Structure 1
Amino acid sequence: MSNTNERLQKVIAQSGITSRRKAEILIVEGKVKVNNKVVTELGTKVTPEDKIEVDGVPLEKEQSVYYLFYKPRGVISSVKDEKGRKVVTDFFPEVEERIYPIGRLDYDSSGALLLTNDGVFANLVMHPKYGVEKVYVAKVKGIPSKEDLRKLIKGVKDKGEVLKALRFRVLSTDKKKNTSLLELTLREGKNRHVRRMMEQLGYPVIKLKREKYGILTLDGLRVGEFRKLTPKEVNQMRNLASKNVEE
């Protein structure tokens, strides 16, 4: 049950009525009730079943929505950008819910990205301990040896972090252009994980695409398009995360 809990201020902010910082102020001022009891502690966690009131007004819970998006290159995995660059939510102008991306796919990369307003689901599929696999196809400079690629399984150190791949596969090589196409499967998703890992091995990434996220693929989508997940897919992703924890 613990993984269904969310911080109270986060739930209030996700409802769209105010920012998280303002929600924290309202909690401290005693203007928030959970199950008819005033709550003033910021660390308080709530479940989807809890009744929340803010300034005497019941919190209306948005219907949970889940989208698979084929992110183009040159788009920020965020809901806003201080530099005015295009963000992923710009592609969802008709979606009324306050959706946000699950994790990140860096600016220069394309591929499968999930967006939702369900914080519990987001944590399940994103957190490393749940180990939902993500499959990337990387075009790299150079032709890595099997010995070098095996280092990905053991882990490559970069800036104090150990970056690993669960599996790898060489899809093709081009000796004339001195490039390779690799398929890399990860269970973690650290910042610029694949790019940093390959850079450390001496094979910088030229192009990167996330082909698969858990059971979800980009089949039927073109760059910049999205679709809703079916209830079955949402359950399959939840079950996949739960299964990985049990294992």
Structure 2
Amino acid sequence: MRLDKFVCKSTTLNRQQAVLVISAGEVTVNGNAIVDAAVQVHESNCIEFQGERLLPRPFRYILLNKPKSTLCSNVDGDYPSIFNLLNVPNPDELHIAGRLDADTTGLVLITDDGRWSFNVFNPKYHCQKVYRVRLRDSIEGEHKGEIDGQLVARFKQGLQLPGETKLTLPAKLVYVSEREALLTISEGRYHQVKRMFAAVGNRVVGLHRERVGSIECDVACGEWRYLSDIEVEGFGFSSLSELDNRR
């Protein structure tokens, strides 16, 4: 973690104020004054400010059910930011893991633990994401007469998306109704779900993320909650202490 971020997470100082006190030599790391705010530090280091050791606040892990016409951004834009839905201290310390488009709803993870969010959406860990997809046309595949089973097989084998050299990783397609399906993927390419269905001659008209890993979107639209320790640990780490050791 950068020293200025550590100071912010351990005090009431904002990033600009933290940089100023560090530049002035008021922060020491293991007894040595450090004036470079970008220096990487670890929680095991003895970091002091004004003679007192700094202890960072615990990391926060939040699940939010994103409404339509909101932005996965820390600030408002063409639509309001989802951060307007949160009532938590120091929201500027948080970032969004696994962003959704403005017209997409469902599960969004918000945290101040950069290593955790990186691992959750790192393709090498193959974290599965489940989307409920509403389609313009009935599910019949690219060519008229292609049976449902053939389309399931194509998603499982991987699809060739325009402008990309590699097939998509195997995906699981389950029919819910004539124009609705559940799609499970383990990667997060740009507009991937929409592009996958476009590649087989269909169009997504509604998209909702229901699950990430073992975490279900179990709150009402626009509501949020903190993740449990078990949910946080569920992304390939045997314990929170092990997760801490990886930082």
TM-score band, normalised by the shorter chain?
0.7 to 0.9
The residue that corresponds to 1:139 in the other structure is 134
SS of the equivalent of 1:158 reads coil
Cα 1:11–1:138 shift into 2, 3 Å: farther
Q: 1:127 to 1:34 in 2, by over 3 A?
A: farther
* Backbone CA RMSD of aligned residues: 3.2
Match of 2:85 in 1: 91
**Aligned 1:122-133 pairs, distance under 5 A:** 122-133=117-128
Q: Deviations over 1:132-169 (max 9, x none)?
A: 21111111222233434433332322333646253323
Partner of 2:112: 117
With 202-211 and 191-200 compared, the bigger mean Cα shift is at 191-200
Cα distance change of structure 1 residues 25 and 141 upon mapping to structure 2, 3 Å threshold: farther
C-alpha distance in 1 between matches for 2:227 and 2:35: 37
**Cα distance, 1:199 vs structure 2:** 1.9
1:45 aligns with 2:44: no
SS in 2 for 1:182: strand
Q: Work out whether residues 8 and 43 of structure 1, in 8 Å CA contact, stay in contact via their aligned partners in 2.
A: yes
Which sections of structure 2, spanning at least 5 residues, go unmatched?
Answer: 142-148, 243-247
| Partner secondary structure for residue 231 of structure 2 | helix
Helix, strand or coil at the partner of 1:137: strand
Give the TM-score of the pair, scaled to structure 2: 0.75
Matched letter for residue 96 of structure 1: P
Give the equivalent residue in structure 1 for 2:56: 61
Q: Which moved more, 1:112-121 or 1:233-242?
A: 233-242
Identity of aligned residues (%): 27
Amino acid at match of 2:89: E
CA separation in 1, counterparts of 2:238 and 2:227?
15
Give the gaps of 5 or more residues in structure 1: 1-5, 175-179, 243-247
Separation in structure 2 between the aligned mates of residue 30 and residue 101 of structure 1, nearest angstrom? 33
| Greater share of residues in strand | 1
Count, aligned residues: 228
Deviation at 1:25, TM superposition (A): 8.3
One-letter amino acid of the counterpart of residue 207, structure 1: G
Equivalent pair of 2:152/2:174 in contact (CA under 8 Å): no
Mapped to 2, the partners of 1:73 and 1:11 lie a distance apart of 34
Question: In the superposition, relative to structure 1, how do residues 161 and 181 fare at CA in structure 2: closer, same or farther (>3 Å)?
Answer: farther
